[in-house]
């Protein structure tokens, strides 16, 4: 790992729940940690200062979307992604590989890369392992990802095997193309739900000696049990002395199972997307604020939460804001949800440090899911 990046496990087990510290050029991240998604260089409706106040340590932006608009070169000329986002902490950019899955109807995958008919005006855009690295070099994030192929679930074994073959070849090409010592290039393990493909992909990527590894291709419809199987198999295959990142996962029971398997970093749109749609996360389970029963409820979303929504607004007031179409409602519930995720991950980390992870995890899940 580059001298500007350092990783150490502070407590826990090499192949089990662990608390770590990831140092980057823009600050350190205590893990396990949640990464809010700022796809187009903004976490929707939330100021950088508010993210900091909520306890957010690191944020994510999307290479595909930013390469389209305004362009990676424009962001470089504006001072880089940190300047454009107004954020002085660590930033991670994904490679655009998830769009291979999410924009399947608009793309064609070849040995060289991915050709998209972009979703804005239909013009052609090609991402290769080299151009994805070059774009992320211009964006200037601290952690960047190698281009990969994320297959859907379910998919034929042959399709999952081809995704692994391309992902491995593209990882080697990305590694050769990357030259910025102030950015860490991480690789992504694919393989669908096929255990042997996951082992093969992880083994070959580990042999390439990346400074960090991600587990991709989950949370694409396979369900909780299969997600747990894939993560439980894959995480121990990755070096204990490198950070492990699970892409696109935020459901609390998925998080707990993955932390138990040794995963350190997570990103997901759940807190922000659901916040914009009046669903609040609480330690007692999700709360749908549009429900009639909240109309005259003077209690906060959560009594012991210290976010702005809970300190100054009632459930009834928030319900009114959504019913009236006022943008303050989505903003406040988004902030609350981000604070919930920070607190949730903080409790997991503290429990690991105090050697009581299993009991804490069981208590959190029992309270969140109740009799579900």
Catalytic hit among 148, 254, 264, 267? 267
The predicted model scores a pTM of: 0.96
Average pLDDT over residues 210-223: 97
Pairing of strands 27-31, 18-24: antiparallel
* Residue 1 included in any domain: no
pLDDT at 221: 95
Cβ pair 244, 232 in contact under 8 A: no
Other CB atoms within 10 A of residue 223 CB: 12
Domain boundary among 268, 302, 333: 268
> Per-residue confidence at 106, pLDDT binned at 50, 70, 90?
confident
Over the stretch 71-101, which tens digit does the pLDDT of each residue have? 999 999 999 999 999 999 999 999 987 887 7
How many domains are there within the chain?
Answer: 2
Domain boundary among 249, 268, 287: 268
Average pLDDT over residues 232-257: 98
54 plus 28 within the same structural domain = yes
What tokens were used for 199? 């082992």
> Per-residue confidence at 119, pLDDT binned at 50, 70, 90?
confident
209 plus 352 within the same structural domain = no
69 plus 187 within the same structural domain = yes
Average pLDDT over residues 340-369: 98
Catalytic hit among 94, 142, 148, 254? 94
* Residue 155 included in any domain: yes
335 plus 355 within the same structural domain = yes
267 catalytic per annotation:
yes
SS3 at position 156: coil
Region of 37 on the Ramachandran plot (φ > 0 left; ψ -120 to 50 alpha; else beta): beta
Kind plus residue range of the DSSP H or E element containing 162: helix 157-177
pLDDT at 371: 52
Write out the residue range of the structural domain in which residue 346 sits.
278-372
Q: What is the CATH number of the domain that holds 196?
A: 3.20.20.105
Average pLDDT over residues 348-371: 96
Over the stretch 283-295, which tens digit does the pLDDT of each residue have? 999 999 999 999 9
Distance (Å) of CA 209 to CA 119, 171, 205, 261, 324: 35, 11, 7, 21, 54
Tokens 């998919």: give the residue. 155
260 plus 284 within the same structural domain = no
195 plus 338 within the same structural domain = no
Whole-number average pLDDT of the chain: 96
189 plus 325 within the same structural domain = no
């Amino acid at each position: 790992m580059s001298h500007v990046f350092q990783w150490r496990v502070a407590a826990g087990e090499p192949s089990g729940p662990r608390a770590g510290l990831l140092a980057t050029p823009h600050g350190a991240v205590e893990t396990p940690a949640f990464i809010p998604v700022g796809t187009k260089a903004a976490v929707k409706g939330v100021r950088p200062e508010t993210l900091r106040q909520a306890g957010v340590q690191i944020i994510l932006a999307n290479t595909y979307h930013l390469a389209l608009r305004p362009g990676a070169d424009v962001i470089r000329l504006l001072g880089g992604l940190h300047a454009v986002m107004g954020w002085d902490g660590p930033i991670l950019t994904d490679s655009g590989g998830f769009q291979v899955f999410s924009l399947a109807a608009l793309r064609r995958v070849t040995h060289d890369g991915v050709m998209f008919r972009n979703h804005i005006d239909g013009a052609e855009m090609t991402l290769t392992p080299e151009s994805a690295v070059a774009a992320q070099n211009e964006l200037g994030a601290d952690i960047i990802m190698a281009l990969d192929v994320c297959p859907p679930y379910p998919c034929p074994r042959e399709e999952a095997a081809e995704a692994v073959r391309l992902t491995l070849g593209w990882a080697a090409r990305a590694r050769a193309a990357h030259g910025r010592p102030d950015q860490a290039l991480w690789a992504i393990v694919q393989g669908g739900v096929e255990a042997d493909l996951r082992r093969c992909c992880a083994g070959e990527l580990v042999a390439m000696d990346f400074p960090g590894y991600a587990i991709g291709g989950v949370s694409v419809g396979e369900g909780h049990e299969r997600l747990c199987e894939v993560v439980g198999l894959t995480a121990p295959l990755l070096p204990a002395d490198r950070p492990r990142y699970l892409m696109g996962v935020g459901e609390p029971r998925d998080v707990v199972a993955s932390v138990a398997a040794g995963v350190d970093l997570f990103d997901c749109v759940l807190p922000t997307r659901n916040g914009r749609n009046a669903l609040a996360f609480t330690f007692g389970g999700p709360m749908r604020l549009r429900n009639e029963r909240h109309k005259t409820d003077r209690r906060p979303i959560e009594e012991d939460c210290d976010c702005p929504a809970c300190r100054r607004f009632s459930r009834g007031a928030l319900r009114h804001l959504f019913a009236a179409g006022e943008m303050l409602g989505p903003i406040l519930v988004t902030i609350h949800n981000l604070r919930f995720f920070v607190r949730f991950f903080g409790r997991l980390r503290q429990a690991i440090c105090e050697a009581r992870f299993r009991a804490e995890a069981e208590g959190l899940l029992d309270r969140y899911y109740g009799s579900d």
